[in-house]
Amino acid sequence: MGRYRRISHSSQDTVLLGALLGEVLSPGVVLLLFGDYGAGKTEFVRGVVSGYLGDAVAEEVASPSFSMLHVYGNQSRRFFHYDLYRIDKENQGYIFQDTEENDVLCIEWADRIPVPQFREVINIYITVLPSFEREITIKGPQLLFSAISSYANILE
């Protein structure tokens, strides 16, 4: 397990870091997002979708706060974006039933349910700093960080 930490100075930085992650994602991975309401989780997801599926699809990204789920892509390359802030116990058992092995799952408020253990997991923590910048910490497989680090100078 490795760790990557970056200070984001703007929403554009947050989207760009997400896009870098999206470009190196493996099919079937689970992204767990942690951060307070308004921390920038959806902006980060917009970037991930851009890197994984392209800019045209990323323009569709919106917070699934009320619907709990938005699905992007097509049958051969799907991205499931969950927001579990409002999930109740009755729906927890069914939340992942329509996903397939190669679908990327991105879960905001992931601490509210048990996460699928059969997949590779990447944890993403977004913290709002007193200066209104964001500290973004990504924890996952070391190989992932080698790929991200090759692009790191883009953000500097």
Tell me the pLDDT tens digit for each residue of 19-77: 999 998 999 999 999 999 889 999 999 999 999 998 888 888 887 777 789 999 998 89
**81 in helix, strand or coil?**
strand
Band of residue 154 on the pLDDT scale cut at 50, 70, 90: very low
Residue 67 has a pLDDT of: 79
Q: What is the mean pLDDT of the chain?
A: 85
All domains in the chain, ordered by first residue = 2-155 (3.40.50.300)
The Cα–Cα gap between 18 and 12 comes to 10
Q: Pick the residue with more confidence: 90 or 45?
A: 45
Structural tokens at position 82: 């969950």
Q: Decide if 8 contacts 17 (C-beta within 8 A).
A: yes
The Cα–Cα gap between 105 and 116 comes to 10
